[in-house]
Amino acid sequence: MAESREFLYPSKWLSKASAGNRVTSELRMRIISGEIESGTILSENKLAVDFAVSRSPIREALKILASENIIRLERMGAVVIGLSDKEIEEIYDVRLLIESFVFERLVRMDTNELVKELSKILEMMKVAIKYSDADEFSYQDVLFHETIIHAVNHSYILMIWNNLKPVMESFILLSMRMRFKEKYEDFTRIVKNHELYIEAIKTKDRDLMIKSFHENFDDVQVKVEDLWMSQQMLSKGVVQQND
């Protein structure tokens, strides 16, 4: 099989990445996009052939994806879990949980530097919108929230984020690509929400932060079905990998 095919994950984000990381990122995208359906059983050997690498990087990828909860390692083969609407809600539960926690810490800190940093990132997001660069926009969006979390310097909150981030990133990437094509008008609202978020940090207004977080969630929340439909459209020329 192993034909040349497009990759879902932005190749320029992988400039210095190892084969293991490449496989991890790409496999994650294919799972979250629904291209590899939930319930599919992945074989190390088959994946090694498909990606034209040895089993070592594949094993590494499967271990990571299992720790991210999008596949389940069983005695024979890895079973794809993927993201259903339930999981997406759960991810946002956790994000709200940690971002609320972080906010409580921020309230007791000097946030001037952070606010400046976030404003810069928001400017970048606006530029990305102007040039219809969905990938760059997603990158900055994730970075925005990561920057907030980094600010409080809490290694175990950061650990949670690091576990959640790749799945978030993939989901946002797919979601934004779709919306750049179909719902361009959404982005003025997204920008406004991020402005609110910055404002909340500046004024240390907890309620405002929760409000903007929830609006952002309602906004970003694309139903998984839509995502999958859209994905199908984007990749219609692509060879399906049935063995």
Partner DNA sequence: TCAAGTATACTTGTATACAAGTATTATAAA
Partner DNA sequence: TTTATAATACTTGTATACAAGTATACTTGA
Token pair, residue 90, equals 């759960």
Report how far residue 62's alpha carbon sits from residue 135's, in angstroms, rounded to the nearest whole number.
Answer: 24
228 binds, among a copy of itself, DNA, none (CB under 5 to 8 A by kind): none
CB 215 within 8 A of CB 149: no
Report how far residue 148's alpha carbon sits from residue 79's, in angstroms, rounded to the nearest whole number.
Answer: 34
| 34 binds DNA, rule: CB under 7 A | no
| 19 binds DNA, rule: CB under 7 A | yes
Report how far residue 69's alpha carbon sits from residue 67's, in angstroms, rounded to the nearest whole number.
Answer: 5
188 binds, among a copy of itself, DNA, none (CB under 5 to 8 A by kind): none
Q: Which residues bind a copy of itself (CB under 8 A)?
A: 60, 63, 67-69, 87, 90-91, 93-94, 97-98, 101, 154-160, 162-164
Token pair, residue 200, equals 């909340």
Between 15 and 76, CB nearer to DNA: 76
Token pair, residue 114, equals 């952070």
Residue choice 71, 78, 152, 227 for contact with DNA (CB under 7 A):
78
Between 163 and 241, CB nearer to a copy of itself: 163
Report how far residue 206's alpha carbon sits from residue 201's, in angstroms, rounded to the nearest whole number.
Answer: 8
87 binds, among a copy of itself, DNA, none (CB under 5 to 8 A by kind): a copy of itself
Q: If binding means CB under 7 A, how many residues of this protein chain bind DNA?
A: 21
93 binds, among a copy of itself, DNA, none (CB under 5 to 8 A by kind): a copy of itself
CA-atom Rg of the chain in angstroms: 19
Pairing between strand 78-80 and 71-73?
antiparallel
Cα separations in angstroms, 59 against 29, 36, 63, 68, 143: 17, 18, 6, 14, 28
| 66 binds DNA, rule: CB under 7 A | no
| Smallest distance from a copy of itself to CB 239, Å | 32
| 10 binds DNA, rule: CB under 7 A | no
Interface positions with DNA (CB under 7 A): 18-21, 43-46, 52-57, 59-60, 73, 75-78
